[in-house]
Structure 1
């Protein structure tokens, strides 16, 4: 594990669907992405910040995407898929993993903003490559194995006035 230092290069990967659903179900509020990015970078050198979002033709989603860009995030946008039986699917797990692995040679730390335990194996791989892994999410919805795999964990539930709008 690399230690935190002032010139540390950081990439922030935000699983917006995971964050959104947790914030809505637990607090009926939205994520403050400016505060999330500020906490993630913490006076280090930001290399990339990517927010992975789903286009579901919801009202005001384009203004949300624009706001993310204004804050400093690149947006990766995927259209929601609707199947013949009416079920819907949209996730960025593979895209987040590919970007994290690609960025690993260019950063010292990757901050995963998600509670999804599917990223546990990714954490192990990146740590083996010498990358520090930090996770920021709500403890109540974050998989224990993801917290254990990370070098550090920030529980957004401990400061909802900061992390929620």
Structure 2
């Protein structure tokens, strides 16, 4: 994967997709390390993180992450998730951010050289092709090493480059806490 010191880079993160990929690979993303990694690869113009939030909940477990990202160099784009009942009567939540990401990618294309797209969703194939037609390189960051793979084949084939998320774990992953040792220590101290 080639990066050039003077190239203008934009990051587009499909929050729920990246979270699922990280969990499947058994590591948590350290977003500061992620941001620093790509700041050092070129001129990072923009880092955007997209996610849907449940409006009707008093507390959202994702809110602390959203607040941290917003204060630490990411532009966070949210919208309310929609609750609905499926045909089997089960309550479901839908929070697709594809349109917002697509519009933003098309708008920034004339101002960047390289887009880093953190998703495996095949629906992005068309927008990747559209920004490539404007001379922008697109690297997709996702994983094929999970079961099932989180990356759609059509998106991988359309991208200029594919970066395997599993291979980035040691660079952008947060160290796992050993809860068993802490629990044992509390028990012994208690």
TM range (shorter): 0.7 to 0.9
TM-score, normalising length from structure 1?
Answer: 0.88
Does 1:117 pair with 2:122? Answer: yes
Unaligned segments of structure 2, at least 5 residues: 175-190
Residues 105-146 of structure 1: per-residue CA shift (max 9 Å, x gap): 111111101111111111111111111111112223111221
Indicate the structure (1 or 2) with the bigger Cα radius of gyration: 2
Across the aligned residues of Structure 1 and Structure 2, the Cα RMSD in angstroms comes to 1.9
Q: What's the counterpart of residue 11 of structure 2? A: 12
Q: Are the structure 2 counterparts of residues 67 and 18 from structure 1 closer, same or farther at C-alpha, using a change threshold of 3 Å?
A: same
Residues 87-114 of structure 1: per-residue CA shift (max 9 Å, x gap): 2100100110000000011111111011
Does 1:143 pair with 2:148? Answer: no
Q: Are the structure 2 counterparts of residues 142 and 41 from structure 1 closer, same or farther at C-alpha, using a change threshold of 3 Å?
A: farther
Residues 56-82 of structure 1: per-residue CA shift (max 9 Å, x gap): 345442211111123311100111110
TM-score, normalising length from structure 2?
Answer: 0.77
Does 1:62 pair with 2:63? Answer: yes
Deviation, 1:162, is 2.4
Deviation, 1:12, is 0.6
Given that residues 38 and 44 in structure 2 are in contact (C-alpha distance below 8 angstroms), is that contact kept between their aligned partners in structure 1? Answer: no
For 2:120 and 2:37, the matched residues in 1 are separated by 16
Does 1:108 pair with 2:113? Answer: yes
Given that residues 156 and 163 in structure 1 are in contact (C-alpha distance below 8 angstroms), is that contact kept between their aligned partners in structure 2? Answer: no
Residue aligned with 2:52, SS: strand
Given that residues 17 and 120 in structure 2 are in contact (C-alpha distance below 8 angstroms), is that contact kept between their aligned partners in structure 1? Answer: yes
Higher relative contact order structure (alpha carbons within 8 Å, sequence separation ≥ 6) = 1
Unaligned segments of structure 1, at least 5 residues: none
Residue aligned with 1:13, SS: strand
